[in-house]
Amino acid sequence: MNEFTLIQKHFKKLTNNNPSALELNDDVFFDKKNRVVLSIDNYVENVHFLNFRNPDLVIKKILRSSISDLYCKGVKPKFIFVGASGNKKSFSSKNLNLIFKSLKEEQNKYGIKLSGGDTTKSKKLTFSITTLGYSKRIIKRNKCKNGDDIYVTGNIGDSYLGLQILKKRVFLNLKRNKYFIKKYYLPNLPIQISSKLLEIANSAIDISDGLFGDLSKLINKTKLFYKIDLKKIPISSNLQKYLKKSKEKKINYISKGDDYQIIFTSPKSKRNYIKKLFKKMNQKVTLIGNLTKYPKKNEIIDGDKRIKHAFNEGYSHNF
């Protein structure tokens, strides 16, 4: 049973008469009356991060992953609450100093404030981060419309290659290794774009579990289907060079997640405005496809070919 099925089958009914829960079909809680937006994320060693050998980098990764939930809703995060479970080795004086330094740097970078949390002793190292912000409106997950353009911010795929390098499944030169590992630990959140989403987007989600997996979540209640041009999906020049040399398939690197870029949909009528807006901001945003009612199936186009991608749906928590 995957995470989505578990929620829909066992817990959705508990949110009846609670519109702020958004039917447990989004990544945030939104209390419209009080303008409160909140998200909660859990992270487990060997599941969400490999190990704790670089606690300063791990903390930055999970923090950015968490606040990304609000940024993709068009909301600026204000406060974070951090829960942690671990042992003396995980939370040694050295590690705690590194964690403190990283949290301070992230607070300054994103204008957020550590506001509480909890700690417990445990053999398993885990973190739980709650993110809080305020807004009159949010960009919900399932409000896309027939004919909407599909956009993605930044580049995707670098993080997955960084993970393969850390797992010692891929070996590159030192400079390239550092580049991809940095992309894995330190996702570059598209915070400039976030501030404009309320103007341009009908729906949005961040890429945590993979481009196609998260895109499927975006349309899961709409009776719409996506058509994506594989060649238009943005990747870095470094990843492009790696794929060319290794003869690996692009689709296998853009499907795995941990990118924390934003997928959003927007009416075609706003296409020129979006192009001019982000050119002026010097922020990369790429039109990669559109939503349609027919044919009643999702399509990935690579030139004249249609790709079957059932094995590329991204990461899924199974129970």
Give 105-115 pLDDT, tens digit per residue.
999 999 999 99
pLDDT of residue 319: 53
Q: Hey, what domains does the chain have and what are their CATH numbers?
A: 3-134 (3.30.1330.10), 149-312 (3.90.650.10)
pLDDT of residue 74: 96
pLDDT of residue 169: 96
Q: Is the pLDDT of residue 57 over 60?
A: yes
Q: How many Å apart are CA 64 and CA 183, to the nearest integer?
A: 12
pLDDT band at residue 312 under the 50/70/90 scheme? low
Tokens 């030139």 sit at which residue?
303
pLDDT of residue 310: 42
Q: How many Å apart are CA 208 and CA 216, to the nearest integer?
A: 13
Tokens 């943005």 sit at which residue?
234
Q: How many Å apart are CA 42 and CA 40, to the nearest integer?
A: 7
Q: Is the pLDDT of residue 298 over 70?
A: yes
Tokens 């020129």 sit at which residue?
272
pLDDT band at residue 306 under the 50/70/90 scheme? confident
CB atoms within 10 A of CB 172: 18
Type of residue found at 87: N
E runs forming strands in 18-144: 29-31, 36-44, 77-86, 113-121, 126-134
Q: How many Å apart are CA 301 and CA 3, to the nearest integer?
A: 29
The total number of residues written for the chain in this structure: 319
| Burial (Cβ within 10 Å: 0-12, 13-18, ≥19) of residue 150 | buried
- The torsion of the CA quartet 43, 185, 257, 159, rounded to 10 degrees, works out to -160
Laid out side by side, the sheet with 126-134 consists of 29-31, 36-44, 126-134, 77-86, 113-121
Q: Is the pLDDT of residue 318 over 70?
A: no
CA-based nearest residue to 235, from 160, 177, 165: 160
Provide the token pair at 302: 């690579």
Give 234-290 pLDDT, tens digit per residue.
999 999 999 999 999 999 999 999 999 999 999 999 999 999 999 999 889 999 999
List Cα–Cα distances, 120 to 88, 91, 117, 127, 144, in angstroms.
Answer: 11, 11, 11, 10, 42
Give 6-49 pLDDT, tens digit per residue.
767 777 787 788 888 887 788 899 999 999 999 999 999 998 99
